[in-house]
Amino acid sequence: MANERDDVFEALWAERARQDEQWGGFVHDDYHTGPDWARFIERFVNLAYEREMVEPEWYDAMLKATVLGVAALEAHARTYGLPEPCSQCGGRGTFSYMTSQGRIDVDCIDCDGPTR
């Protein structure tokens, strides 16, 4: 029996490569805002919402929505860095990054603790 997770990840990476080829990769992706990404993802989630899981259109829409989420997180990581583990709970909900206005620290979304 095939490992479903491996098959799904293979489909995700193939779709991610297809989208990079279509749109130009990070050169294009890094210009989008958070609301842009949310709208792109919402479009495909809404398409999936209108379908049953047995329909190929449902799978395609969910695949595209998921891969857009990956692209958004990649763009965020390139621009702002990755979240740092929270010193209180170990969660991944704390961000510390540089912007044109200086360093921004965001409290942990898991425990509401301080970033450091």
Structural domain for 36, as ranges: 4-80
Question: What are the CA-CA distances from residue 63 to residues 26, 37, 47, 108 (Å)?
Answer: 19, 15, 11, 29
Count of structural domains, the chain:
2
Looking at the structure, do residues 50 and 90 belong to the same domain, yes or no? no
Looking at the structure, do residues 69 and 116 belong to the same domain, yes or no? no
pLDDT in single tens digits along all 116 residues of the chain: 469 999 999 999 999 999 999 999 999 999 999 999 999 999 999 999 999 999 999 999 999 999 999 999 999 889 877 777 777 777 766 666 666 777 777 777 777 766 55
Q: Where are the alpha helices (DSSP H) in the chain?
A: 4-23, 26-29, 34-49, 56-80
